Structure 1
């Protein structure tokens, strides 16, 4: 799928740059006497536009750290962006100063035009954002409240095992199915159909569009700051002042935005109306929505908040367990399969722990988790080794700030930083265990789920999902190189694909039951 095609004449481009130049010359910006953070040298008019990477942004940002330090600054059409490559700096700014670092930047395509600024990921920091988080926290904001949904997660993980044993080559699709089924059960009380499910299909499509529409380089409208867009439309003398009109060269994004906005509305509204119908006839399962709606919201505004909170939780799990591109793969669990293929010794250690603690006459449950330290460490390493959102969604500073002697005007390589995680590309669960008196390394969940008041509200659910699926898979399956015509595949690389949500590069593996006893557990009663 091609998300951005820029059709623009040389005359149109020259006109656009001329207007941007006029705006840049006539728009004042209050400077502090302190210097700005260092960064790549800027070109007049366009700033660092040509320095912006078209893919795998985190690799370029990591190189900038080596040259300019852990905090560097770039400008694109006058829009200031600060790149934080240091855990220490991210915690200091995004956690400790979260009162002014918790807003989101305006993303014209994805946020304003498609409508994702109504979901918690891009929702501006304020009263509604705080309410969304408060609603989500009530039901599963902590491991204790999440316990009510453990049976659902165990059931869906067991269904995953059945799908894998019946068609192991499609393991990535089965992971996607389990992930979507789990979050829909939790948020809407909806049981996903076997085969193609209409609600999962809607969400898959919406999340592909979210990733594309929020990319900093996918659409020209996302690269031009709001004040430039505003003044461009004024200079063009059109009724609307919010966006460049459709007749301007390169403004074909309007048509795409309308199509994607329609899909987003359906993704939010159809499951919500389904829950209301189930509640009306007394057949609704316990879920986030049924729990919230049973409290009888007294206004349309309260119903709106509950509806968008539920949808935000569902679609927001994309970074960790939902599909990320047209191959319909999930992130964390698929990277787990690749890691197990590359590090068979890890598989043996995890399976030895399962056999010792649980035996071979039942599947692991959440009740076993306290007694499975190596499995817990393996789940943590799965999050760290392949960070699903390597750059994260940007924060927006709500007031000028001073940090380390630099002026930060208003307006992460972290999980693979060798100073935090030695041998960062090695999959090593032991790094999170206390061995021979050595303290565990930093918990990656403190990094990969975001910072401060923007930390992922569904992180407890994502953590539980990854643990139970990894535990059940290792309890009953062996993972080995894929064999074709008698020749095993070479070991896969450890590359990450580009995108706001980054998934593992493609690979194949062989997945077989460990024994006849394991097969009987897989095919047994799901309850």
Structure 2
């Protein structure tokens, strides 16, 4: 026993000595590495000097942030940054920086900002726009790709788009002073038909009114500087009666509007399917020959709403901007109409088959997207540390691609404030506006082909049969200007114009 005890004690000493030797060797290796291997450190992108306590809170723009960020780009370069309560915000003011960071490094820069107000309090967490890159995100995108992921797949909706566009032109002639409402309703009619098989009523439609209300609230809630709770998420725990916590009551009101929009058209499809009266739509097609789990049901419900949310304002904005551009630039309108008369003639309406033969009309569509930027700032989140041009992009940083600045870069687009379709024509065209305006990386807009088709057929049809003129007051023509609204989705401020048929032949085409 004594021998066994001595043996165990000896072995323990040996093991202890070996362990201490390994630890000592590790410490020596670490110290030698620190002394001999230079530590590489990277600076954060430059930007306004922060204050000790508030960071750059005072520098945060309260409206039209893209203009302030563009000014920083001229001062600090293509990539700049600020700090707000310890959170890093990085602004990308060039197409190169946006492509290098958001596309080439998309695996680590495809995160989504949390947006506490919109996601947690209002309840938009189930929608595509707020999904982090993962299985749910891929499932929704997969369904969209099957529906309208390519120009050829979008052909299935051409008949709907042509019908809605003709109805739109008729409404514009009846009440041209309500142009904005007509544009919005035409887009809603198309997307509600595609997603839910819903036929919008003439006049005031209850579902359209509900959708307008919900999307207006969404745009306001997602404005980066609108709510401090987006910067300080801990504020979401404040009770609504607490001073400064009125956002809680606002969120509760917005939440109910969202739930109504999520459930109402979806339940209507289910009721029609049960009665055997449902039209073919995205929702009804998902149920054909299938028994769905609650998780699948929730996924389809949010996918349909995300489809509507993604298409309504983002398609409304360029079509409304087209009318503004044609009002300001009558010579461009006349040149496009001459092209249409030459290619299509005056005895029929243009179709999608005419598109390849209408280069100037196509160029107008491209210039509308560049001139009036629908989504001025595209937000991503860095999922891990990375380096760009010697600058550190820390994990968790909010990345803003300043699409407005990218499409108004004077070096890329000379005289960017001028509406000039010819910049996309000839032997040396300027870069396609569509490449930037629909986003970068894995979060590009999935409905780009549908939106592009709607823009073309709307512009071509309007140019073929209508004349858009400057409004006259007190005998003087009023020339409007492009002034964009604030918000995550931007569109032209209201403007006045006069709209009449181009000719008696055109009027006959309009009314059939």
Normalising by the residue count of structure 1, what TM-score does the alignment of the two structures yield?
A: 0.86
State which of 295, 303, 321 in structure 2 corresponds to 1:301.
295
Measured in 2, the distance between the counterparts of 1:212 and 1:252 equals 15
1:495 corresponds to = 483
User: What pairs up with 1:400-419 in 2 under 5 angstroms?
Assistant: 400-411=385-396, 412=402, 413-419=405-411
Take 2:255 and 2:494, find their aligned partners in 1: how far apart are those partners?
A: 30
* Distance in structure 1 (CA, Å) of the matches to 2:291 and 2:445: 25
Query: Where do 1:115-130 residues align within 5 Å?
Result: 115-130=123-138
Q: Say whether the 8 Å CA contact 1:135–1:306 is kept in structure 2.
A: no
- Answer with 362-371 or 276-285: which moved more: 276-285
Quote the Cα distance in structure 1 between the aligned partners of 2:101 and 2:42. 18
Q: How does 1:352-501 map to 2 (within 5 A)?
A: 352-392=338-378, 394-411=379-396, 412=402, 413-433=405-425, 435=426, 438-489=427-478, 491-501=479-489
Contact 1:319 1:389 in 2 (8 A): no
In the comparison of the two structures, how many residue pairs are matched?
467
Q: Are the structure 2 counterparts of residues 249 and 365 from structure 1 closer, same or farther at C-alpha, using a change threshold of 3 Å? A: same
CA distance, structure 2, for counterparts of residue 319 and residue 452 of structure 1: 22
Cα distance in 2 between the residues matched to 1:507 and 1:337:
10
**C-alpha displacement of 1:319:** 4.2
Partner of 2:337: 351
In structure 2, distance between residues paired with 1:425 and 1:42? 32
Structure 2 counterparts to residues 160-179 of structure 1, below 5 A:
160-179=168-187
1-structure distance, mates of 2:58, 2:311: 32
- Superposed, 1:1-400 pairs within 5 Å as 33-224=41-232, 226=233, 229=234, 243-321=237-315, 330-392=316-378, 394-400=379-385
Deviates more, 1:282-291 or 1:267-276: 282-291
- 1:395-443 Cα offsets, whole Å, 9 max, x none, are 011111111111101111111111221211111111112x2xx222111
* Helix, strand or coil at the partner of 1:416: coil
Match of 2:22 in 1: none
Kindly state the Cα deviation for residue 290 of structure 1 after the two structures are TM-superposed.
Answer: 1.7
| Pairwise CA RMSD | 1.5
Bigger drift between 495-504 and 156-165 goes to 495-504
Check conservation: 2:47, 2:72, Cα contact below 8 A.
yes
CA distance in 2, matches of 1:103, 1:67: 28
Match of 1:237 in 2: none
String of CA shifts for 1:77-127, please: whole Å, max 9, x gaps. Answer: 111111111111101111111111111111110111111121111122211
- 1:431-470, Cα deviation, whole Å (9 max, x unpaired): 112x2xx222111111111111111111111111111100
The answer as to whether partners of 2:222 and 2:487 remain within 8 angstroms in 1 is: no
CA deviation after TM superposition for structure 1 residue 495, in Å: 2.2
Shift of 1:522: 0.7
1:274-317 CA-to-partner distances (Å, cap 9, x unmatched) read 11122222222222212222152431111111111111010112
CA-CA distance at 1:374 after TM superposition: 1.2
Using the alignment, how far apart are the partners of 1:497 and 1:197 within structure 2?
25
In the alignment, the residues of structure 1 paired with residue 63 and residue 362 of structure 2 have an alpha-carbon distance, to the nearest angstrom, of 32
**Whole-angstrom distance in 2 between the partners of 1:147 and 1:282:** 26
Q: Secondary structure at the match of 1:482?
A: strand
Question: Is the CA contact 2:113–2:380 (under 8 Å) kept in the aligned structure 1?
Answer: yes
Question: Aligned equivalents of 1:449 and 1:249: distance in 2?
Answer: 40
Q: Deviations over 1:3-57 (max 9, x none)?
A: xxxxxxxxxxxxxxxxxxxxxxxxxxxx982111111100122111111111111
* Change in CA separation of 1:510 and 1:302 when aligned onto 2, cut-off 3 Å: same
Contact 2:184 2:312 in 1 (8 A): no
CA distance in 1: counterparts of 2:302 and 2:103, whole angstroms: 25
Q: CA deviation at 1:471?
A: 0.5
Q: What is the aligned partner in structure 2 of residue 4 from structure 1?
A: none
Give yes or no for contact 2:195–2:281 (8 Å, CA) kept in 1. yes
Distance 1:45 1:282, change over 3 A: same
What residue number does 1:26 align with? none
The structure with the largest alpha-carbon Rg is 2
- 1:292 & 1:356 partners in 2: Cα distance? 44
- The alpha-carbon deviation at position 140 of structure 1 amounts to 0.8
Following the alignment from structure 1 to structure 2, what is the Cα–Cα distance between the partners of residues 114 and 201? 19
Please, which runs of 5 or more residues in structure 1 have no aligned partner?
1-30, 233-241, 322-329
- Is the contact made by 1:117 and 1:124 (CA closer than 8 Å) also made in structure 2? no
Cα–Cα, structure 1 residues 223 and 199, in superposed 2: closer, same or farther, change >3 Å? same
